[in-house]
Chains A and B, each alone.
Chain A
Amino acid sequence: MAGGSQRVYKQRIKSTQSLKKMFRAQELIAASRIGKARGRSAAATPYERAITRAVSAVATHSSTDHPLTRERHDTNRVAVLVIASDRGMAGAYSASVIRETEKLVQQLTAEGKEVSLYATGRRAISFYRYRGRELTGEWSYGSDNPQSDVAGEIADTLLGAFLAPVAEGGVAELHVVYTQFVNMVTQRPRVVRMLPLEIVEGVAAPGEHEVLPLYDFEPSPEVVLDALLPRYVRSRIFSFLLDAAASELASRQRAMHTATDNAEDLIRNYTRLANQARQADITQEISEIVSGADALAAS
C-alpha cells in the first residue's frame, strides 16, 4: 500500500527522537556529576598524602616487618578485586575493566595460583554470576558516588582475607583492577598489586635534601604501624573507587554524546526516506489520474 512505508518511517523518526532525548539527558547528568566526582577525588588527596608520609616516616625509623608487608608463601590463593560500574550506558567502561581482569586471572592461573574474585558494581557481579563463576565478595554501592565507609568495608574484608589462616581462605596477594582517570577523554584500566604492601615506594617521597626527622612514637613504632597500614590500604581503595567513579562518568558522558549524534544521523536519514516515500506516492497518484483521464478521453 502506498501510505504504508510513509507511516513506518514516521514511527521510526518518533521513537528515535525519544531515544535521543534520553541519551541527551544521560549525557547532561553525567557531565554535571563529573566535576563533583573529580572534586571528591581531589579532596581525598590530602588524607592519602598525609598517610603515605607517615607510613614512610615509620618505615625509615623502625624495621618494617609487619604482617601486611610480609610475603606469604603458605598458600597459592590470590585475591582479585574488580571495580566496575553499577549501570551500563557508559560505552566500553565495564567491559574493558572486566577484560583486563580476565587477562589478569588467566595470567595468575597460568602461574599456578588459585584466584578468588571480589567484585564491586552490579555490571561485574552479573557478568560473573551469569557465567557461574564464584564471587568471594561483592558490593554494589552506587558506583558513581562511592562513600568512604563502603571503601572501609571493602578494605577490611580484603585485609581480613590477607591475614586469615590458609584453612579459612587466606590469600597471599591482593590485586586491584580499576579504571584510572587520566583526563576527560582517556580512562585506562589499571592493575595494581595492593598486598603485600611495598613500603619502598613511599620512602622515595621526600626529596634528597630533606631528611626525615627522628620521630617519637606513641605508644611504639609497631603499634603506630599497626594503626597506619590498614588506614593506608583503606585510603588507597577509597581513592581507587573515586577514580573509577570519575572514569565511569566520563565514559558515560562520551558514550551518551556519541549515541545522541548517532540518533541525529538516524533521524536525518529517516526523514529523507520519508520525504522520498511521500514524493513517490504523489508521483504515482498523478500518473494514475493522468492515465485514467487519458483512458477516458480515448474511449
Chain B
Amino acid sequence: MAELNVDLVAADRKVWSGAAREVSAPSVEGQIGILVGHTPFLAVLRPGTVKVSTTQGVAVEAHVSGGFISVDDDLVTIVVDKITQSAGSSALA
C-alpha cells in the first residue's frame, strides 16, 4: 500500500520524518485528516495537536503553536513555529 511521506519541521530542527499512514493537523478551519492520495493542499495551522500515525500506531503526537501544512503528491510537509510537547515511539530528537 502506498504511504505518505511526512516531514515535520520546527524553526530550528527537523522533528520527525518518515513514512506514515495518516496525518492529522489543526487547520484554521478545523482538524483535518490526510490519507494517501490527498489532493495538493496548503493550509494555515492554528495552535493544536499534530498527530502522525504509521501502520504500527501513533508515531508522533505534538502540540504546536501554529504553522502550516502542505500536501503534494503524498509528500506532506508540516512546518511549525514551535513544538511545545511531543510524544512518540520514534521521534528524532
Q: Which of A47, A152, A218 contacts B10 (CB 8 A)?
A: A47
Residues of A within 8 A of B (CB): 40, 43-44, 46-47, 50-51, 53-54, 57-58, 148, 152, 213-219, 223-224, 227-228, 231, 234-235, 238
Q: Is the CB of B79 within 8 A of A47?
A: yes
Q: Is the CB of A217 within 8 A of B14?
A: no
Report A-chain residues with C-beta under 8 Å of the C-beta of B9.
46-47, 50
Decide yes or no: A43 and B12 within 8 Å by CB, A50-B77, A54-B70, A218-B29 being known contacts. yes
A223 to B40, CA, bound (A): 17
Report A-chain residues with C-beta under 8 Å of the C-beta of B29.
218-219
A235 to B9, CA, bound (A): 12
Q: Is the CB of B12 within 8 A of A224?
A: no
A246 smallest CB distance to B (angstroms): 14
A199 to B43, CA, bound (A): 19
Residues of B within 8 A of A (CB): 7, 9-14, 27-29, 32, 39-44, 67-68, 70, 72-73, 77, 79, 81-82
Q: Is the CB of A235 within 8 A of B44?
A: no
Q: Can you spell out 20 A-B residue pairs with CB atoms less than 8 angstroms apart?
A: A47-B10, A50-B7, A53-B77, A54-B68, A54-B70, A58-B42, A148-B11, A148-B12, A213-B40, A215-B40, A215-B41, A215-B42, A216-B39, A216-B40, A216-B41, A217-B41, A217-B42, A217-B43, A218-B44, A235-B11
Report A-chain residues with C-beta under 8 Å of the C-beta of B81.
152, 231
Report A-chain residues with C-beta under 8 Å of the C-beta of B7.
46, 50
Q: Is the CB of B79 within 8 A of A223?
A: no
A47 to B67, CA, bound (A): 11
Query: What is the predominant secondary structure among interface residues of chain B facing chain A?
Result: strand
A270 to B42, CA, bound (A): 70
Which of B14, B29, B82 counts the most A-chain CB atoms under 10 A from its CB? B14
B23 smallest CB distance to A (angstroms): 14
A216 to B42, CA, bound (A): 6
Given contacts A218-B32, A223-B44, 13 further A-B contacts (CB under 8 A): A40-B12, A43-B12, A46-B7, A47-B9, A47-B12, A47-B14, A47-B79, A50-B79, A148-B12, A213-B40, A217-B43, A224-B43, A231-B67
A62 smallest CB distance to B (angstroms): 11
A199 smallest CB distance to B (angstroms): 15
Considering the complex, give the chain B residue whose CB is closest to the CB of A151. Answer: B11
Report A-chain residues with C-beta under 8 Å of the C-beta of B39.
216
* The 9 A-B residue pairs with the shortest CB-CB distance in the complex, in nearest-first order: A218-B43, A213-B40, A148-B11, A227-B44, A43-B13, A46-B9, A215-B40, A47-B9, A216-B41
Which of B7, B41, B70 counts the most A-chain CB atoms under 10 A from its CB? B70
